[in-house]
């Protein structure tokens, strides 16, 4: 999701933004990019306008690692309002169904295990998924019937945090790529024999980045313009924390920078499970991401 422009500074790193409510991820990226006067930027993992929280923004060479953040595990806190379903599965939509049933704690806890592991989930009609080249939410807003196919997603943990009252329940979910919390809320309600929609959604973690590291646009705006980037950007390699690392020599680094495959020593491949995606560096300087097969490292993304 990276974009280029002619003007701006060639800065590199990750900004962990605390996206506010009411703003799209693209708008948040644009504002942060303007504040940092960055030449190249992209975001990892869209957050709905009605969701807040961790939105990792990549700048410069860090945009080459966005795919690893897109695939990373994510944690959300969300609040369900029982008894009402909406077209969008959140507070933005029109009411389409009601129920008088309010599930108690015991019944909620009893069904949560059925929503962990690999599960089948139908995405919301109001989502960014493309159908025949058009976004599902555009078709839905135009009044067209949107039928999306179920897809397999992974949920590693789903916890009931509390029940502030009989109409609401607050949850935390740790899930994999492509999971829709709004669909999860819909399916939880259906299993419990009631209706529901999401009234609050906050992302608290994406891969190695959590909300304790996040900064608001307001705080970013209040910083000294000359030192913002140096103050807030995490290193490019911080997004690669879950990838095995490979230390290479200066000579090997030179070849890799030119896109050439290199021969590795037995010491270098010791302990590596091959084939595997590897992050190669020299003196802690990012060189490339690539594949180790047998005794060779072949770069696929080289950092300038």
pLDDT(139) > 80: no
- pLDDT at position 128 over 50: yes
DSSP notation for 194-219? S-EEEEEEEEEEETTEEGGG-B-HHH
| Contacts of 195 by beta carbon, 8 Å cutoff, 6+ apart | 82, 83, 84, 85, 97, 98, 99, 189
The predicted structure's pLDDT at residue 4 = 47
User: Angle CA(129)–CA(130)–CA(136) in degrees, nearest 5?
Assistant: 65
Tokens of 32: 């942060």
Cβ proximity of 245 and 278 under 8 Å: yes
pLDDT tens-digit map of 244-296: 999 999 999 999 999 999 999 999 988 888 888 999 999 989 999 999 988 99
Superfamily of domain 243-302: PUA domain (2.30.130.10)
Contact between residue 300 and residue 288 where contact means Cβ atoms under 8 Å apart: yes
What are the tokens at 298? 């072949």
- Is residue 93 scored above 60 in pLDDT? yes
Average pLDDT score over residue span 158-185: 97
Dist. CA 36–CA 233, nearest whole Å:
10
CATH fold for domain 74-206: Pseudouridine synthase (3.30.2350)
Exposure of 274 by Cβ count < 10 A (0-12 exposed, 13-18 middle, 19+ buried)?
middle
Q: Give Cα 92 to chain centroid, integer Å.
A: 22
Q: What is the mean pLDDT of residues 63-68?
A: 92
CATH class, domain 3-72+208-238, is alpha beta
Q: How confident is the model at residue 297 (pLDDT cuts 50, 70, 90)?
A: very high
Whether 144 shows a pLDDT value over 70: the answer reads: yes
Asked if pLDDT for residue 239 goes beyond 60, the answer is: yes
pLDDT band at 135 (very low <50, low <70, confident <90, very high): confident
Residue 189 phi/psi, 5° resolution?
A: -60, -45
Residue limits of CATH 3.30.2350.10 in the chain: 3-72+208-238, 74-206
Has 48 been annotated as catalytic? yes
252 CB-near residues (< 8 Å, 6+ apart):
262, 282, 297
- The pLDDT, as a whole number, for residue 137 is 74
Residue whose pair of structure tokens reads 């992974």 in the numeric block = 154
Task: Report the predicted TM-score, pTM, of the whole model to 2 decimal places.
Answer: 0.90
Active-site residue, from 18, 37, 48, 165: 48
Q: Which of 179-193, 228-242, 270-284 has the highest mean pLDDT?
A: 179-193
Rounded mean pLDDT, 59-75: 93
- The Cβ of residue 177 has, within 10 Å, a number of other Cβ atoms equal to 12
pLDDT of 108 reads: 98
Say how far apart CA 159 and CA 188 lie, in whole Å.
12
Q: For residues 140 and 100, is the Cβ–Cβ distance under 8 A?
A: no
Asked if residue 237 lies in contact with residue 13, where contact means CB atoms within 8 angstroms, the answer is: no
Mean residue pLDDT of the chain comes to 92
Return the pLDDT at 6.
58
Return residue ranges of the chain for CATH 2.30.130.10.
243-302
Beta bridge partners of 46: none
Whether pLDDT at 109 is above 80: yes
Strands 276-282 and 245-247, sheet pairing:
parallel
CA-based torsion, 202, 204, 206, 211: positive or negative: positive
Which token pair is 186?
A: 């819909």
């Amino acid at each position: 999701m990276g974009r280029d422009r002619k003007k701006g500074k060639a800065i590199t790193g990750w900004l962990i933004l605390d996206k506010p409510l009411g703003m799209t991820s693209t708008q948040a990226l644009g504002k942060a990019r303007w504040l940092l006067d960055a030449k190249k930027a992209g975001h990892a993992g869209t957050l709905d306008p009605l969701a807040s929280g961790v939105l990792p923004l990549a700048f410069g060479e860090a945009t080459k690692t966005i795919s690893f953040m897109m695939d990373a595990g994510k944690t959300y806190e969300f609040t369900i309002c029982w008894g009402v379903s909406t077209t969008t599965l959140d507070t933005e939509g029109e009411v389409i169904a009601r129920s008088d049933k309010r599930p108690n704690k015991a019944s909620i806890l009893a069904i949560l295990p059925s929503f962990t592991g690999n599960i089948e989930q139908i995405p919301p009609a109001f989502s960014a998924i493309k159908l025949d080249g058009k976004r599902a939410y555009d078709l839905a807003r135009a009044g067209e019937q949107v039928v999306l196919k179920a897809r397999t997603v992974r949920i590693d943990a789903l916890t009931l945090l509390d029940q502030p009252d009989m109409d609401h329940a607050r949850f935390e979910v740790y899930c994999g790529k492509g999971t829709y919390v709004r669909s999860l809320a819909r399916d939880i309600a259906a299993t419990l024999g009631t209706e529901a929609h999401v009234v609050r959604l906050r992302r608290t973690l994406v891969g190695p980045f959590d909300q304790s590291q996040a900064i608001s646009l307001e705080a970013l705006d209040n910083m000294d313009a000359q030192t913002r980037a140096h103050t807030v950007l995490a290193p490019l390699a911080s997004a690669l924390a879950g990838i095995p690392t490979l230390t290479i020599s200066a000579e090997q680094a030179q070849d890799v920078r030119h896109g050439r495959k290199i021969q590795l020593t037995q010491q270098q491949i010791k302990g590596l499970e091959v084939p595997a995606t590897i992050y190669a560096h020299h003196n802690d300087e990012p060189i490339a991401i690539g594949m180790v097969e047998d005794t060779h490292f072949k770069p696929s993304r080289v950092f300038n």
